[in-house]
C-alpha cells in the first residue's frame, strides 16, 4: 500500500472510531474526551496499534484544533458579559485561582517537574472544562437554575484568564527571564483590553466584513482571519491560541451566533484530532506509575472546585442545595487542561504528559457523575423542614 493510500485508510479508520466512541460517550452521559484519550494512548508510541503514516497530519491538524477551540470560546462571550462577570464575580475568580492552582503547582514540584512544568500543571488543575460543563448543564436541564449564572461567571473568568496565563506560560517554557514574562503579560493585558474596547465600538463593522449570505464564505473568511491573527500572535512571541480567542471576542453577538453554528462541525473535527495528537504523544506505560499521585491530586482539586462553586453561588444568594450543584458542576477538567499540557509537552516537559492525561481522564468522568448524583441529594435536602 502506497503512502497516500495508507494515510487515507488510517484517517478513515480513526474518524470512524472516534464516531463510535462519541456515540458510546453520549449513550452513558459522559464527555467523549476521556474515551478519545484512552483510544489515542492505544494508538501511540508504546500502544497496541501504532498510527505511523497519519501522525504528521494529525500533529499539524492538532495546532489548528487548538486555534479553533479558542476561537469558539471567544465567540461564546461578549464584551458586556465579560465586564459584567468581572464586576459581579471577581472575588469568585480570585477564590477559584487561589484554591485550584496551588495544588497543581505543589504536585508538579513534588513529582520532580521543573518549575515551568509545575506552572503548567497549576493551569491544568485550575481550569474547568467549559465544554463539558456547558453540555452537562444543558443535558440536566439546569440552564435556568439560580446557581447557573454563578457557574457560568466562573467559567467566563477562567477563560478570560487564559488570555493572560497562556502568554506567561509560553514565555516561561521558552526559558525567558522575569522581564520577558512581565512584558508578555503586559502585552496580553493590553491586547485583551484593546480588543474589548474595540469590539464594543467597532465590532459591528468587523461582523459586516465577515458576513455573507453564503455559509461557505463566512467559514472561509472567519477561519482565514483567525489563522492569520493566530500566526501573527505566535510570531510576536505570544500564543496562537490567545490570538484566536481575541478574534472571537471581537465579533458582535449578532454575528457570533451564526458563526458558532457554521464553525461547530469543523471545530469538533479538529478538536478531536487535537486530543488524539495529545494521546499519541503520551506513553501509556508512563501513566500507571503516576496514577496514585493523579488520584490524590484529583481528590484534592475536586474538593477545591466544589468549594469554589459553593462560594460563587453563595454570592448570588443561592441556598445550600444549589451551591452544591454549582460546585460539582465545576469539577470536570477537559479540553483546555489538555491545551495547557500540550504546550508544555511540545516545549520539552514530557513528564507532564502522563500526569495531565491521567488527571483529565479521571475528572472528565468523575465530574459529570458527581453532578448527576448531586441532583437527587439536593432535591431531598430542599424537601426537609428548615
DSSP letters for 316-363: TT--HHHHHHHHHHT----HHHHHHHHHHHHTT-TTHHHHHHHHHHHH
Q: How far is CA 253 from CA 7, 75, 138, in A?
A: 40, 8, 20
Instruction: Find cell 474595540 and name the residue.
Output: 198
pLDDT in tens, 93-125: 999 999 999 999 999 999 999 999 999 999 999
Query: Is the predicted pLDDT of residue 171 greater than 60, yes or no?
Result: yes
Over residues 359-383, the mean pLDDT reads: 72
**End-to-end Cα spacing for the chain:** 72
Share of the chain above pLDDT 90, in %: 23
Domain boundaries, the chain: 33-46+69-375
Global confidence as pTM? 0.75
Contact present, 362 and 354 (Cβ < 8 Å): no
CATH class, domain 33-46+69-375, is: mainly alpha
* CA proximity to 282, closest of 107, 12, 38: 38
Element (H, E) at 183: helix 178-210
215: Cβ contacts below 8 Å, ≥ 6 apart? 262
Q: How confident is the model at residue 231 (pLDDT cuts 50, 70, 90)?
A: confident
The more confidently predicted of residues 288 and 144 is 288
pLDDT at 126: 95
Q: How confident is the model at residue 377 (pLDDT cuts 50, 70, 90)?
A: very low
88: Cβ contacts below 8 Å, ≥ 6 apart? 153, 315
Distance CA 130, CA 106 (A): 24
pLDDT at 301: 97
Q: How confident is the model at residue 382 (pLDDT cuts 50, 70, 90)?
A: very low
Contact present, 135 and 151 (Cβ < 8 Å): no
Contact present, 51 and 44 (Cβ < 8 Å): yes
C-beta neighbour count of 179 within 10 angstroms: 9
Contact present, 335 and 69 (Cβ < 8 Å): yes
pLDDT in tens, 74-95: 787 666 666 666 677 889 999 9
pLDDT in tens, 2-41: 788 888 888 888 889 888 988 888 887 777 877 887 788 7
| Neighbour-count burial of 267, counting CB atoms closer than 10 A to its CB (0-12 exposed, 13-18 middle, 19+ buried) | buried
Distance CA 158, CA 332 (A): 13
Q: What is the mean pLDDT of the chain?
A: 82
Distance CA 55, CA 36 (A): 15
Amino acid at each position: 500500500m502506497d503512502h497516500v493510500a495508507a494515510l487515507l485508510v488510517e484517517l478513515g479508520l480513526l474518524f470512524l472510531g472516534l464516531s463510535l466512541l462519541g456515540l458510546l460517550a453520549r449513550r452513558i452521559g459522559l464527555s467523549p474526551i476521556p474515551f478519545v484519550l484512552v483510544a489515542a494512548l492505544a494508538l501511540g508510541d508504546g500502544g497496541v496499534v501504532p498510527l505511523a503514516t497519519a501522525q504528521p497530519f494529525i500533529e499539524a491538524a492538532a495546532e489548528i484544533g487548538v486555534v479553533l477551540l479558542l476561537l469558539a470560546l471567544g465567540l461564546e462571550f461578549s464584551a458586556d458579559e465579560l465586564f459584567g462577570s468581572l464586576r459581579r464575580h471577581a472575588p469568585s475568580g480570585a477564590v477559584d485561582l487561589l484554591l485550584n492552582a496551588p495544588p497543581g503547582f505543589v504536585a508538579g514540584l513534588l513529582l520532580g517537574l521543573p518549575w515551568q512544568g509545575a506552572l503548567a500543571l497549576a493551569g491544568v488543575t485550575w481550569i474547568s472544562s467549559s465544554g463539558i460543563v456547558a453540555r452537562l448543564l444543558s443535558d440536566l436541564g439546569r440552564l435556568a437554575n439560580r446557581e447557573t449564572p454563578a457557574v457560568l461567571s466562573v467559567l467566563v473568568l477562567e477563560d478570560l484568564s487564559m488570555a493572560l496565563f497562556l502568554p506567561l506560560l509560553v514565555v516561561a517554557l521558552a526559558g525567558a527571564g522575569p522581564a520577558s514574562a512581565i512584558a508578555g503579560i503586559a502585552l496580553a493585558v493590553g491586547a485583551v483590553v484593546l480588543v474589548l474596547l474595540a469590539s464594543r465600538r467597532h465590532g459591528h463593522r468587523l461582523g459586516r466584513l465577515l458576513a455573507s449570505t453564503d455559509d461557505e464564505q463566512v467559514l472561509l473568511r472567519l477561519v482565514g482571519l483567525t489563522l492569520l491573527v493566530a500566526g501573527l500572535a505566535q510570531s510576536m512571541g505570544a500564543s496562537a491560541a490567545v490570538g484566536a480567542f481575541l478574534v472571537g471576542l471581537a465579533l458582535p453577538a449578532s454575528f457570533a451566533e451564526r458563526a458558532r453554528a457554521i464553525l461547530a462541525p469543523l471545530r469538533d473535527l479538529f478538536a478531536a484530532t487535537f486530543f488524539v495528537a495529545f494521546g499519541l504523544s503520551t506513553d501509556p506505560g508512563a501513566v500507571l506509575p503516576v496514577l496514585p499521585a493523579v488520584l490524590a491530586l484529583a481528590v484534592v482539586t475536586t474538593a477545591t472546585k466544589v468549594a469554589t462553586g459553593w462560594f460563587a453561588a453563595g454570592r448570588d444568594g443561592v441556598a445550600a442545595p444549589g451551591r452544591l450543584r454549582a460546585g460539582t458542576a465545576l469539577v470536570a477538567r477537559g479540553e483546555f487542561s489538555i491545551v495547557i499540557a500540550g504546550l508544555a509537552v511540545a516545549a520539552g516537559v514530557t513528564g507532564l504528559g502522563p500526569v495531565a492525561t491521567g488527571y483529565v481522564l479521571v475528572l472528565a468522568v468523575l465530574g459529570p457523575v458527581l453532578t448527576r448524583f448531586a441532583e437527587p441529594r439536593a432535591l431531598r435536602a430542599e424537601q426537609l423542614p428548615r
